[in-house]
Amino acid sequence: MPSFVVPNGNDNPQEFEGKMTFYVILCAVIAAMGGLMFGYDIGISGGVTSMDDFLEKFFPVVYIRKHQVKENNYCKYDNQGLQLFTSSLYLAALVSSFFASKTCSRFGRKRTMQAASVFFLAGVVLNAAAQDLAMLIIGRILLGVGVGFGNQAIPLFLSEIAPVKYRGGLNILFQLLVTIGILIANIVNYYTTNFHPSGWRLSLGFAGVPAIILFVGSLIITETPTSLVERQRPDEGLKMLKKIRGSENVDREFDEIVNACEAARRITSPFRNLMKRSSRPQLVIAILMQVFQQFTGINAIMFYAPVLFQTMGFKNDGSLLSAVITGSVNVLSTVVSVFLVDRVGRKALLLQACVQMLASQIAIGIILQLFLKTSNNLSPHLAIVVVILVCLYVASFAWSWGPLGWLIPSETFPLETRTAGFFFAVSSNMLFTFLIAQAFLSMMCHMRAGIFFFFAAWIVIMGLFTVFLIPETKNVPIDEMMERVWKKHWYWKNYMDADAEQKDNNIENGVSSS
Ligand code: BGC
């Protein structure tokens, strides 16, 4: 999930000394527990919302509908309250990530992460002990605040402590932990579904484990040198930099941090800067990468895989087992992207994935359209074919739009708008995740198999967008993006020329541009 490139103004890995010290690894692993927290949440709700004990207690209408033999296959889970259970988390994360971006600067990354784990734990307690729907939803909202704080602070933290030459790898480590979190949640659900009547409480309660590790761990880990300098504590920043790099020879890197902080301080309103014409290309890419990432339909699978598989006729554990399989494919394919992203490039991965996702979505749509009517089950053979198609779809997402949806927005902004620009990426992700989570079950009820053609149509749009408008950023140092990428792109260069700069300056100085 989110990756973040820190404004340090230098991307030549040779120039800074700094190895991967044990302390950096320890800090990274502890911080990445936030990725597990987030992933666990993504993966857990689908299994829980398909458990009978849970439905009977909180959503009796859905429970009755699910067991009515004559009930329409596609509609049995269509319930706004049930969807709100899943989606409320993302709305809370959307709102709280704005506040988290402020606390990150004012109180530091470490404190923001600690706050994340505390909110998260409070949410876990309410969820695991829930007696009514209100407790359940308030718990989800607190989890969402935890996710918002965590997702804003942790990727930033990881990138700031990483030695420059390992920064890309550490970025994708966060997404990898998200996928591992999803997988663990699927496995937990697979077992707890057989514990009656409180298996769902165990599922929701286990989310506390990564949160406790993050909280206890955050007492041990360091604050980042950048954050210390940013908050006017340069001596501590220098000391900490020496400690995490395992070297006394850190002066150049420290100077870069100090310069970057000074440059950032001079920009009084990064958000206003972002509205300039010359920032338009990066802003459009950052927002649309997230919108498209969600309109691949991935979270229809991640949140509702067990529900979806039950819709096709799998029994409870059969559907959870299938979710475990797709979760494993998700993890393994994310590892593939770690190795390929800097070799074959971003565009190649995005385009290959569009073709594979398109083919699998259309095939699933056709099978469901032809063979899954309102009240039958798919034959076992066809159901297995659908699971294989879902795996092909998830694999291609996981080595492309999953990690790159975060990586590309984080590496294309120039220094002065990077933090504010990345905030737009995080919040767009949360907003569209919320929309999909809230709407998917109703869409499935109304559009039936057509839902897969709906996502397929989006994939065509994003494929065209990739071909024409996403520039290749492989191996380009982040501070050379402007010259080597934007100013050379056939379309985006129109926003980068001298005229554009002049227009920006005119707007800033209040001069009419007519
Ligand atoms: C997306 C999540 C998604 C996850 C699946 C992330 O990049 O932002 O919405 O659930 O990938 O692995």
- For the chain, the straight-line distance linking the first and the last C-alpha, in angstroms and rounded, comes to 44
Letter for the amino acid at 481?
Answer: M
* 464 class by beta-carbon count within 10 Å (0-12 exposed, 13-18 middle, 19+ buried): exposed
> Does some domain include residue 236?
no
Q: What total of structural domains would you count in the chain? A: 1
Largest CA distance in the chain: 73
> Does some domain include residue 265?
no
> Does some domain include residue 421?
yes
Whole-number Å distance, alpha carbon 472 to ligand 1 midpoint, is 22
The answer to whether the CB of 49 falls within 8 A of the CB of 307 is yes
In this prediction the pTM is: 0.84
Q: Whose CA is nearest to atom 7 of ligand 1?
A: 402
Q: Whose CA is nearest to atom 8 of ligand 1?
A: 1
Question: For residue range 35-52, what is the model confidence (pLDDT) as tens digits?
Answer: 999 999 988 988 898 899
> Does some domain include residue 253?
no
Measured between alpha carbons, how far is 305 from 312 in angstroms, rounded to an integer?
11
Helix residue spans in 193-315 (DSSP H): 199-205, 208-220, 225-230, 234-245, 251-266, 270-274, 280-295, 298-311
> Does some domain include residue 73?
yes
Q: Determine if the peptide bond prior to 155 is cis (ω within 30°).
A: no
* 63 class by beta-carbon count within 10 Å (0-12 exposed, 13-18 middle, 19+ buried): middle
> Does some domain include residue 187?
yes
> Does some domain include residue 95?
yes
CATH code of the domain covering residue 387: 1.20.1250.20
> 10-residue block means of pLDDT along the chain (514 residues)?
42 56 87 89 87 92 77 73 86 91 87 95 97 94 94 81 73 87 93 92 95 90 89 93 89 85 77 86 94 93 77 75 90 90 90 98 92 77 90 96 87 75 87 88 86 96 97 80 89 79 57 41
Q: Which residues line ligand 1 (CB under 6 A)?
A: 1, 42, 175, 178-179, 182, 293, 298-299, 302, 330, 402, 405, 429, 433
Whole-number Å distance, alpha carbon 436 to ligand 1 midpoint, is 12
Whole-number Å distance, alpha carbon 433 to ligand 1 midpoint, is 9
> Does some domain include residue 144?
yes
Cα angle at 366 between 365 and 367, to 5 degrees? Answer: 95
pLDDT at 87: 87
Whole-number Å distance, alpha carbon 297 to ligand 1 midpoint, is 10
Strand, helix or coil at 7?
coil
Question: For residue range 229-280, what is the model confidence (pLDDT) as tens digits?
Answer: 988 899 999 999 999 888 888 888 888 888 878 877 777 777 788 888 989 9
| Mutational pocket test of ligand 1: of 183, 302, 336, the residue with most ligand atoms within 8 Å of the beta carbon | 302
| Mutational pocket test of ligand 1: of 3, 38, 172, 299, the residue with most ligand atoms within 8 Å of the beta carbon | 299
Q: Whose CA is nearest to atom 4 of ligand 1?
A: 402
- What's the domain range around 360? 21-221+271-509
Which atom number of ligand 1 is nearest to the Cα of residue 294? 9
The percentage of residues in the chain with a pLDDT greater than 90, rounded to a whole number, is 42
